[in-house]
Amino acid sequence: MAQQKKNKKLGRPKLPKGEAKGRIVPVRFKPEDLKAIEAAAKANNQTVSEWVRSTIHATIQP
């Protein structure tokens, strides 16, 4: 029998241990809140995810 070709995995390769962010926390926003968040992120040259993370981190740190 002919050997079958091994399929390549799709998507981004896994990050090395310790570099992954951890859990994904789904959140829903009202449209007007999301617009404000997007504007704030853009004003800080960040993605929405980066802005949310940094804002939450600043809020919970003493």
Q: How many CB atoms lie within 10 A of CB 51?
A: 19
Q: Does residue 19 have a pLDDT over 80?
A: no
pTM: 0.67
DSSP secondary structure code for residue 22 in this structure: -
What the block records as the tokens of 17 is: 């241990």
What does the pLDDT look like over 20-51, one tens digit per residue?
778 889 999 999 999 999 999 999 999 999 99
Which residues have C-beta within 8 Å of that of residue 37, sequence separation ≥ 6? 29, 48, 51, 52
Domain boundaries, the chain: 31-60
AA letter at 19: E
Supply the pLDDT for residue 18. 78
Nearest to 34 by CA among 52, 46, 56: 52
